[in-house]
């Protein structure tokens, strides 16, 4: 083993030692109270979410948490009742067995008397309106405005999470406001957004809320999507995808060691999720955050790109995003742009047709290029679309059909 490999292994062991303590990262948190003024909602949208000790949300849209009775609990979907008032949560691949009075690994699903309840249904930690590109989602009606919904907590413990302030706290540890699914849809329509996404924290953990919002949104002609770590089990995933137009999946690495040591999870369930999304024909884009010494090995990236090509198809967009030090990984440097460019070349050489460099504003590979003639089809600067050279989902120059949702 040469000196470079020795140094890489030393840093990897130093960084990943101990228990992983972070979560899914995708979009920076921002204040959202200014968005809430003027939103009309009927008193028929009154709702509340169960929290330990009788705390729950009030029925007024956009209100702060307050006390309510236990009758306002929201029962979870996808769980199995066991003996001695225990339950097994069947929502994600952790499959927690939860004793009476306890919560699962995600912190937000609680066993109360042998029934499992969601503690975050309607309990919104934040809302924000951004370009759809911020998800990132580059092949789904580019340039439109999207309303993003998020709550507390996550079912991963990623050491590099940019949103750990929200994802690594339970529902009783951060401020939240009450919104029914109807309130969220009304807000999206009143602000002129085309879509509603579920992101920032891991939306699997607020499955019931996401499902109801998405079903309501589709009835009103809005597009729906979610950004996930891919750990949802197959049955609830297929059920949810009936009400989803698009999915962005974080493929955090292509080794099980990384998943276990950095995210407290496993790789194989994520790969199965990607296959299910592809089978269900939802629009799919993949994000790979390139972290120095941990998942930036060219061979690993080449193997991942080949797997995407063979199992999902060469048209699936791959976003190679730049890491910046945060949370439990503050001793690592930001990803060199040169590393991202080499990774992009590796992915293209493996046969992927749409490879992006993210978190590097102004980089040429923020944009979409035609695989047929090389024409720049969508000129982007970071999250913002400058111009488009497409018509009905095809390149204006050569007519090449581009994967995505365009019309």
pLDDT of residue 281 exceeding 60, the answer is: yes
Query: Residue 395 half-sphere exposure, CB side, CA atoms within 13 Å?
Result: 16
Q: What are the DSSP E strand ranges found in 185-253?
A: 195-198, 223-228, 246-250
Cα→Cα distances 6→1, 2, 34, 329, Å: 7, 6, 51, 20
Taking the CB of residue 88, how many other CB atoms lie within 10 A of it?
16
pLDDT band at 407 (very low <50, low <70, confident <90, very high): confident
The CA angle 184-245-161, to the nearest 5 degrees, is 70
Helices (H), 263-336: 268-279, 298-311
pLDDT band at 9 (very low <50, low <70, confident <90, very high): low
Ramachandran assignment for 54, one of left (phi > 0), alpha (psi -120 to 50 degrees), beta (any other): left
Percent of the chain whose pLDDT exceeds 70:
82
* Three-class SS state of 7: helix
pLDDT band at 111 (very low <50, low <70, confident <90, very high): very high
pLDDT single digits (tens) 151-185: 999 999 999 999 999 999 999 999 999 999 999 99
Helix (H) or strand (E) holding 5: helix 3-16
Q: Is the peptide bond before 136 cis (omega within 30 degrees of 0)?
A: yes
Question: What is the C-alpha to C-alpha distance for residues 20 and 9, in angstroms, rounded to an integer?
Answer: 18
Helix (H) or strand (E) holding 283: strand 283-290
pLDDT of residue 250 exceeding 70, the answer is: yes
Residue 320: partners with Cβ closer than 8 Å, 6 or more residues away:
288, 290, 301, 340, 343, 344, 347, 355, 356, 357, 358
Query: Residue 231 half-sphere exposure, CB side, CA atoms within 13 Å?
Result: 25
Q: What is the pTM of this model?
A: 0.85
pLDDT of residue 73: 72
Question: What is the C-alpha to C-alpha distance for residues 371 and 403, in angstroms, rounded to an integer?
Answer: 11
pLDDT single digits (tens) 20-77: 222 223 333 344 444 444 443 332 222 333 223 332 222 223 434 332 322 247 999 9
Which residue segments constitute the domains of the chain, with CATH numbers given? Answer: 125-169+198-395 (3.20.20.70)
Question: How much is the mean pLDDT over the chain?
Answer: 86
Task: Find the range with the poorest average confidence among 12-21, 330-339, 398-407.
Answer: 12-21
pLDDT single digits (tens) 170-228: 999 999 999 999 999 999 999 999 999 999 999 999 999 999 999 999 999 999 999 99
Taking the CB of residue 367, how many other CB atoms lie within 10 A of it?
18
pLDDT band at 11 (very low <50, low <70, confident <90, very high): very low
Cβ–Cβ under 8 Å, residues 56 and 48: yes
Question: What is the C-alpha to C-alpha distance for residues 85 and 113, in angstroms, rounded to an integer?
Answer: 6
Taking the CB of residue 374, how many other CB atoms lie within 10 A of it?
11
């Amino acid at each position: 083993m040469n000196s470079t490999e020795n140094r890489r292994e030393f840093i990897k062991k130093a960084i990943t030692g101990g228990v992983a303590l972070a979560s899914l990262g995708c979009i920076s948190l921002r204040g959202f109270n200014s968005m809430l003024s003027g939103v009309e909602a009927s008193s028929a949208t009154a709702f509340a979410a169960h929290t330990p000790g009788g705390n729950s949300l009030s029925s007024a849209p956009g209100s702060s948490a307050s006390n309510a009775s236990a009758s306002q609990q929201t029962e979870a979907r996808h769980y199995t009742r066991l003996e001695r008032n225990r339950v097994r949560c069947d929502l994600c691949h952790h499959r927690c067995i939860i004793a009476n009075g306890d919560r699962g690994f995600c912190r937000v699903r609680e066993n109360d008397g042998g029934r499992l309840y969601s503690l975050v249904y309607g309990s919104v930690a934040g809302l924000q309106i951004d370009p759809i590109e911020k998800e990132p989602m580059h092949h789904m009606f580019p340039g439109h405005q999207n309303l993003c919904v998020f709550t507390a907590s996550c079912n991963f413990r990623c050491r590099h999470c940019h949103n750990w302030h929200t994802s690594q706290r339970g529902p009783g540890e951060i401020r939240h406001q009450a919104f029914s699914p109807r309130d969220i849809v009304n807000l999206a329509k009143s602000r002129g957004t085309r879509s509603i996404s579920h992101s920032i924290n891991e939306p699997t953990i607020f499955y019931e809320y996401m499902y109801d919002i998405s079903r309501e949104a589709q009835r009103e002609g809005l597009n729906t999507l979610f950004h996930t770590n891919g750990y949802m089990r197959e049955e609830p995933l297929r059920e949810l995808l009936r009400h989803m137009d698009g999915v962005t999946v974080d493929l955090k690495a292509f080794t099980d060691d990384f998943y276990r040591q950095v995210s407290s999870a496993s790789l194989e369930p994520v790969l199965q999720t990607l296959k299910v999304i592809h089978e269900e024909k939802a629009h799919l884009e993949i994000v790979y955050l390139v972290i120095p010494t941990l998942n930036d090995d060219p061979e690993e990236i080449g193997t991942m790109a080949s797997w995407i090509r063979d199992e999902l198809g060469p048209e699936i967009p791959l976003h190679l995003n730049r890491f910046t030090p945060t949370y439990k990984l503050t001793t690592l440097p930001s990803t060199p742009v040169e590393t991202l460019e080499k990774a992009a070349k590796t992915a293209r050489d493996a046969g992927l047709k749409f490879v992006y460099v993210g978190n590097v504003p102004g980089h040429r590979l923020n944009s979409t290029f035609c695989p047929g003639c090389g024409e720049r089809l969508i000129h982007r600067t970071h999250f913002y679309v400058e111009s488009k050279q497409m018509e009905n989902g095809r390149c204006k120059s050569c007519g090449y059909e581009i994967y995505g949702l365009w019309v």
